[in-house]
Structure 1
């Protein structure tokens, strides 16, 4: 079994709600079921599934007398797929207020549905965690019959082509992996979006995703996307927002403090999983047959860094940096006024230096170049969080 880095126990507290977000098939239900199984003897747990119609009815009422019959006698309430329950936020608020000895754990696959319901009602009463697909560290750490560095070298190509979704990692062969990823794109990932606010233009969404997939690592122009797709800039922004809230993509904004030459009005978009990105463009070719290895590696490094920071509890603002003179840095992190700079270079023989304009403006900041050989040191060796 692959142990997840995210730990539920320290976040489950009486009188509060823990919300576990994440895309479909990232392992939320498995994580919750394992927690329930491990703690069933220590605490009184009741678990419901929000896909069940009776559960949707029972927990959509905002009456403590009605809600109490489903939770009394327990100290932990668990609701999987809670986004399917109308008014769930108000119901959870009532339980938090009226049952001070009851802890609540809920999961949701789409933030635009669950956040909209629980955001305001649970202000001050909730903790939010995000579950990504497996991290490279989680997978490598689970392998006990070979050294971690050997496992990384053996699996790095698979990770970059087929990603790190649990179903992809546990598949028997690459054909199964590509079939799973195609299914994810066609029937699961877009399901949340197309069902939300009566979005019907599935062809436009897929075209938008394809454009983003080909532009990974490059700044995105809303105007250009709109012209290419034949839709307005506002519609582009709306669709991008929906894709973010469905946990398919995320954005980095441009970093700027002073220089007029710095680009700060554009964004870069990355995929939470590079396997999904490859499925969108239907390209599962081996690395030596690809011309996008630089883009793949940059996306992979950026999202693995997000996982690393998230699971270690470290808070840093993340950006990219680029000037109109085309000097650029892949990833800039900011914490307490300090800056940390990262470049993703697949080839360990390819040199990289801090841009002169960056040094002139921000000094000789901590600079890390992450390639396929030293990735292990940054992400896979024991306890690495790269302070």
Structure 2
């Protein structure tokens, strides 16, 4: 089993009098992770209890604000996992009662959608929780398990089939089938359930449009016209897709330099296997016309995983001028800028954005390619 890098951070957060919350898309391994944590805790002498909150019995028992009833259900356990906790009505208030009344019990709550769980816990649990995001596998996790040479050899496959745990080790045809299943049945489950969205066709078509625009700026107006819906609906659906960890956005960097693009954003996918399943394109890299977009998306999502693993907090942007010059990715940390351009081929020409470099004086400008990727991601 590949050890998840985030586990060491979660272990440090245990028994500090706070609820530990693990967010992440469905099928990214949250249940496997929490069960591994419980097993280790049991081996150290702790009593544990795993609760699947999708089961009706669990919902009935936990949907109460009666502290004695909650304690009876939790029992005399040291650590309790509430898996898929967003299914519990008033989950924020329930967790608040648990942590305030029984601080000796370590509660871990997982959620496959942040829009419902986070929305219900943000106010009740202010200052009472530590939140983590579980991504699909990272190249760092693969390297720690299989070594650098295996990780490097699998790089091109990751651009096609992604890094979902249930997909990573499968043969190509089985990987395709698994990704198609995830994309068709699991991907939108929380949105359709909790937001009661009836027009799933629009959601599917929106995802297809976003998948084809990876690496390009997104126009709500253009998408709305193509889908025959309002700008408001497009914004709402994209927001929900972000909160379900299907896509994420990158906003434009602008500090009033003349002709800079501002108030714009790009949309990327948390997993490229899902992105390719949506457009049903699993062609080899040598046959693809979207290799540049795949590489850009891959580099950025792996950088997000890298930063989380090292607990690096940075503002993230892209930059472009109306006249053409652009930078794929910018990180701002402690007032300093680091700029990156993504080109899959090490022989590809990289244009240095002279005006940006002269105006903002970033500490670095680096081209990340298939030869030096490890310096950016490991």
- In structure 1, the residue corresponding to 2:69 is in which secondary structure? helix
Q: CA deviation at 1:23?
A: 0.1
Q: CA deviation at 1:118?
A: 1.4
> Could you report, residue by residue, the CA deviation over 1:337-356 in whole angstroms, capped at 9, with x for unpaired residues?
11111111100011324301
Tell me whether 1:112 sits opposite 2:121 in the alignment.
no
The number of residues matched between the two structures is 375
Distance in 2 of aligned mates of 1:227 and 1:293: 27
Partner of 1:4: 4
> Could you report, residue by residue, the CA deviation over 1:206-231 in whole angstroms, capped at 9, with x for unpaired residues?
11111111110000011111111111
- In structure 2, the residue corresponding to 1:321 is in which secondary structure? strand
Q: CA deviation at 1:364?
A: 4.8
Partner of 1:278: 276
TM-score (norm 2): 0.97
Distance in 2 of aligned mates of 1:364 and 1:37: 46
Distance in 1 of aligned mates of 2:21 and 2:119: 13
Distance in 2 of aligned mates of 1:50 and 1:72: 16
Partner of 2:200: 202
- Cα RMSD between the aligned structures? 1.2
Asked whether the equivalents of residues 297 and 344 of structure 1 are also in contact (C-alpha less than 8 Å), the reply is: yes
Partner of 2:21: 19
Asked whether the equivalents of residues 250 and 318 of structure 2 are also in contact (C-alpha less than 8 Å), the reply is: yes
Distance in 2 of aligned mates of 1:46 and 1:328: 52
> Could you report, residue by residue, the CA deviation over 1:346-380 in whole angstroms, capped at 9, with x for unpaired residues?
00011324301201211253112110011123324
Distance in 1 of aligned mates of 2:211 and 2:50: 38
TM-score (norm 1): 0.94
Deviates more, 1:256-265 or 1:207-216: 256-265
- Paired residues for 1:214-363 under 5 Å: 214-363=212-361
Deviates more, 1:154-163 or 1:35-44: 35-44
- In structure 2, the residue corresponding to 1:142 is in which secondary structure? helix
Partner of 2:158: 159
Distance in 1 of aligned mates of 2:336 and 2:64: 48
> Could you report, residue by residue, the CA deviation over 1:272-294 in whole angstroms, capped at 9, with x for unpaired residues?
00111101110000011111100
Q: CA deviation at 1:72?
A: 4.0
Asked whether the equivalents of residues 20 and 28 of structure 1 are also in contact (C-alpha less than 8 Å), the reply is: yes
> Could you report, residue by residue, the CA deviation over 1:158-204 in whole angstroms, capped at 9, with x for unpaired residues?
10100000011121x10000001111111010111122322111111
Q: CA deviation at 1:152?
A: 3.2
Distance in 1 of aligned mates of 2:176 and 2:101: 48
- In structure 2, the residue corresponding to 1:220 is in which secondary structure? coil
Tell me whether 1:70 sits opposite 2:73 in the alignment.
yes
- In structure 1, the residue corresponding to 2:251 is in which secondary structure? strand
Tell me whether 1:46 sits opposite 2:49 in the alignment.
yes
Deviates more, 1:278-287 or 1:40-49: 40-49
Asked whether the equivalents of residues 14 and 102 of structure 1 are also in contact (C-alpha less than 8 Å), the reply is: no
Deviates more, 1:225-234 or 1:351-360: 351-360
Deviates more, 1:110-119 or 1:292-301: 110-119
> Could you report, residue by residue, the CA deviation over 1:30-87 in whole angstroms, capped at 9, with x for unpaired residues?
0001111111032222221101111111111001111111234222121111111111
Asked whether the equivalents of residues 88 and 118 of structure 1 are also in contact (C-alpha less than 8 Å), the reply is: yes
- In structure 2, the residue corresponding to 1:351 is in which secondary structure? coil
Tell me whether 1:102 sits opposite 2:105 in the alignment.
yes
Asked whether the equivalents of residues 336 and 362 of structure 2 are also in contact (C-alpha less than 8 Å), the reply is: no
